[in-house]
Structure formats: structure tokens, C-alpha cells
A and B are shown apart, each in its own frame.
Chain A
Amino acid sequence: MTILGLPSELWFEAVMFGILLGCFYAAVSIGLSVSFGLLDVPNVAHPAVMIVGSYCTWALWDRGLDPIVAGVLLMPLFFVVGVLLYRFYHASFEKRGTEAGVRGLAFFFGVAFIIEVGLILIFGVDQRSVQAEYIGSSLELGEYRFPYRMLVAFGVALVLTFALTLYLSKTFTGRAIKAVAQDEAALRLMGANPVRIKQWAFGIATGVSALAGAMLIIVGPVEPAMDRVYIGRTFCVVVLAGLGSMTGTLAAGLILGIAESIVLMHPDLGASWAPAVAFSLLLIVLSVRPQGLFGR
């Protein structure tokens, strides 16, 4: 029996793999959910920064560190880079008013290309990958196999989503970040400096990218231009989620992951159609529910 052209025995597998893939997509998008979703910074360089995280993870792994440990250790460094990047963006673009937004977008595209070329100059164009016990082996449950690398990404995504949701709702700075996203001027009336709060939040978003980058290279080999496919996917997840919602990001990641996985396994469609899924979903959501699934 087939449902929508896909044999019914493949459906379960497609959905299970889609859940794992979806959590991975949520993990790579959650930083953007903070920087674009909450702070309105059109950070198209987010995937490129993540690839830098992948390469840094590779470099540390090459010196004997576990990739996950490397990703965690890189977070504070990336936090500082994020703070500096935001300060530069703010001083050069944001401060000059709303019409600077498009130029800001061009700025982040520029940053993405510089990163890409920089990575090629340092590491070359070859793919890089890491090895660890949990890479290459699978958890076997009956006739189904779940790659451990995907389970690791799944776990990290859940931890990241949970931690960020908690941070934004339970800490003073977290609440201020949500407040600055909603009404910057009103927050200034409370004596808070919005620029300082936003640079802190952008730092967190960038710090999270380091760990997401580690996940990326755990899940599969990376190469310098890989950020391009992730621009579509990450923006799709963040907009689908409803800008700035962390649980929404997890849900949207799952939707994209499952949809892509079904397309991947579908006999009439296959891998070449997978990249179209993100943009099709984005178009459908924008026309039906522009504020996203969990929109503010």
C-alpha cells in the first residue's frame, strides 16, 4: 500500500528520521531565532559563522578534543565575536535608522562571503569531517536504525531550546531581551540601555552558533560554501516558527525536517527536491499565516 506515492512501510522511517533531522535544523536555527527573530538583525551570515564553528571544532578535534567538548569550549569565544560584530553593525547601520536595514543585509552578505573565502584560504576547498565513537554507528531498534550522530544533534537541540527558553523567561537579562524586541523605546524609559542588551543577546546567538557548528560537522562533512544551503533552511525555520519563539523554532525545525525527509525517501522526488522544501514551506506559511506558527 502506498500513501501519497510513498510505500506505507517507509512512512514510519521517514517520520522518525525527519524528527531527528528536524531537531538538528532547530539547533542550527536557534541562534538566528534570537538575532533575527528577536533583535530584527538580518543576520544572513549566521550559517557562515556556524561553518566557522564547524572548522574550529575540526581544528580542536584534530588536536585530540572530542567534537562536542570542542563546540562547548568555543561558545565563549564566539560570544565575544558576536558582541563585537553587533557593535560594528549597530554603529555603522542600525543607528542610522530604518532605511539602513537593506544596507545591513548587504553587510551580512558581505560578512558571509568574506568568511567563505577566508575558510577556503585557510583550509582549502576540501570537505572536512571529524571522527568519534558516536559517529558512524547506529542505534538498532528491531529493523530500524538510528544513527547516533543524529541522536546527538537531537539531544543538543532539545537542551539548547530548553536552556534558551528558560534563560529568556526566567532571568532579568532574558526578559529584557524579550522586552527590547517588543518596544525598545519603552525599555529605555526603564533606564535600560537597549544597545547593551542587544549586543549581549547577539553574543548569545553567536555563541550558540559555535555549538551548532560542532553539530553540523558531527552530522556530516562540511565545506566552506555550505552556508548557502543553510541560509534558506534557517530563515525558513525562524519565520515558520514565528519570529523569536524558541519552542516555535523547535516545532518549525521538526516540520521542515519531516517534510524534507519524506521528500528524500519519496520514489518520485528524491534528494534533488529536498532544498525546494524549505522555500515552499516558507511561501505557504507567509501566505497563510504571516506571523508564523507561534508568532508574536
Chain B
Amino acid sequence: MATEALALDGIDALYGDSHVLHSVTFSLQEGHVLALLGRNGAGKTTCMNAIIGFLPARKGEIRVFGERVGRLSPEAIARKGVGLVPQGRRVFPTLTVKENLIVAARGKNQLDHVFELFPRLKERTEQHAGSLSGGEQQMLAIGRALMGNPRVLLMDEPSEGLAPLIVAEVGRTIARLKAEGQSIVLVEQNVKLAFDLADEVAILNTGRVAFAGPASAARDNESLITQHLGVF
């Protein structure tokens, strides 16, 4: 049986008094891509914040390769091998491309690997990250997360605000990381991109899991998609 890389088990989370995640449960197998889908405000980014520890879960359990991480700080969870490519990229603007990568280095040196994945970054090592295009910043954000040798990679809307050509490139990169055996949770609004890459799908609606299962089952279930994603 495949190893469970990441599991959320009955997660409840609150922003102040407002209850935003209700008993969220899903799991990711090692080497798989799980797409976390849902409309705006469904709770996808909140889920990411709960996993990485910015918004500690009020109830339930989060496990990374079987180890409970629910009570840890974000930096401790990151050291357990959870890498997050945050929404909006959040690169360090006045650091150069290389500095952005080196500051994130942990464990085995991944610099050559990152430059091989993104040759564009290698051409711009000494450029300040703030002066990169949106697509290049996204590549840098992904590269920066990879520098920490994550066992589980969380990607929060990597295609957001990018031109279609760049979205396709980001998609190819994710496919390649998957082929290399990387376990990935992909949060996406771009449903087509998500279905192309995902092995499993979890669909959130107003903070509850509306569907969790194989991507193939969700892809062909038109009523599910219309009801919870409202696209296609």
C-alpha cells in the first residue's frame, strides 16, 4: 500500500469567531498530486494556512508522513518537510534571484536542480527578484520552496495572474516534479490545469469537503463540477 504523505483528519479552523473550515478530511499519497479545488472563499488557502501552521486547527489532526504536526509553529512544520509556494508568490523583492534561493536552502543542495527546471532563473541570478516578471517570480517562488527539499509541496494557485503560455510552462514543471516523485497539493482556480495533473481531487464548498476521491471520478461527474466549481 502506498505511504500517506499528508493527511487532514477532521480539521476545524476559525478566523476569530467565523468558522471557516468544518471537519475537513482528505489525504495525499506519496508521489501523487492532489488538486484542492473550490470557488473563491471556499477555504482552499485557509486549508494551506492550517497545514503550514499560520492558522492552527481548532480541532482535528494533521499528519505529515504519519507524524502529527498540528501543534507546531510554521517554521517547525517547514523543517518537517512541508514546502509552501504561497499565493501571490511573495518573493523577497530586494534580494537577488540567487539570494532568494540560497536563503531557503535546507538539506541537499538543490540549486542546480532548480536552475535545470527554470533555465530562465539561471540567466537572471544577479537580478533583484522585484524586477522579475510575474511568471519569473512564480518560477522563483517554486524554486525557493524546492530549495528546502520538501517531502510535501503545497502550491497555492501557481497559475494565478499569469499569461496562458506561462501557465502551460508552470503546468509542465508540476508534471515533471510529479514524475520525479514529488508529493504535491495543488490549489487551483484553473480547473483544467488541475485535472490534467491530479491523481486525486478534493473539492471544498464553504469550508466543507464536498468531494474527495480519484480525479477520474470527479472529471466525469458533470453535476459535481457545475454545483461546486461552476465552470466547464
Interface 1/0s, chain B 81-120, versus A by CB < 8 A?
Answer: 0011010001111110001101110100000000000000
From DSSP, what is the main secondary structure of chain A's interface residues? helix
Q: How far is the CB of A114 from chain B (nearest CB, A)?
A: 33
Any chain A CB within 8 A of the CB of B145?
yes
**Inter-subunit contact A191/B95 (CB<8 Å):** no
**Known A189-B52, A189-B86, A189-B145; contact A183-B75, beta-carbon cutoff 8 A:** no
B contact residues around A191 at 8 Å (CB): 75-76, 78-79, 106, 148
B contact residues around A41 at 8 Å (CB): none
**Known A189-B83, A190-B78, A193-B75; contact A296-B93, beta-carbon cutoff 8 A:** yes
Bound complex: CA of A190 vs CA of B144, how far in Å?
8
Contact of A188 among B75, B94, B106 (CB under 8 A): B75
Most buried by B among A172, A179, A186: A186
Any chain A CB within 8 A of the CB of B70?
no
**Known A178-B94, A182-B93, A183-B90; contact A189-B74, beta-carbon cutoff 8 A:** yes
**Inter-subunit contact B103/A189 (CB<8 Å):** no
Number of interface residues of A (CB under 8 A): 19
Bound complex: CA of A134 vs CA of B176, how far in Å?
66
Q: How far is the CB of A193 from chain B (nearest CB, A)?
A: 5
Q: How far is the CB of B105 from chain A (nearest CB, A)?
A: 8
Bound complex: CA of A185 vs CA of B147, how far in Å?
17
Bound complex: CA of A193 vs CA of B99, how far in Å?
18
Most buried by B among A176, A189, A296: A189
Contact of B106 among A176, A179, A182, A190 (CB under 8 A): A190
**Inter-subunit contact B92/A183 (CB<8 Å):** yes
Shortest Cβ distance from B81 into A: residue: A191
B contact residues around A182 at 8 Å (CB): 92-95
**Inter-subunit contact A192/B75 (CB<8 Å):** yes
List CB contacts (< 8 Å) of A100-143 with chain B. Answer: none
**Inter-subunit contact A188/B74 (CB<8 Å):** yes
Any chain B CB within 8 A of the CB of A175?
yes
**Inter-subunit contact B102/A186 (CB<8 Å):** no
Bound complex: CA of A176 vs CA of B100, how far in Å?
9
B contact residues around A188 at 8 Å (CB): 73-75, 78
Contact of B54 among A169, A176, A183, A185 (CB under 8 A): A185
Bound complex: CA of A185 vs CA of B156, how far in Å?
15
In addition to A175-B99, A178-B99, A190-B104, 17 A-B residue pairs with Cβ atoms within 8 Å of each other are: A172-B102, A178-B92, A182-B93, A183-B90, A186-B86, A188-B73, A188-B75, A188-B78, A189-B78, A189-B86, A189-B145, A190-B75, A190-B103, A190-B148, A191-B78, A296-B93, A296-B94
By Cβ-Cβ distance, the 4 closest A-B pairs, closest first, are A191-B78, A190-B104, A188-B74, A191-B79
Residues of A within 8 A of B (CB): 169, 172, 175-176, 178-179, 182-183, 185-194, 296
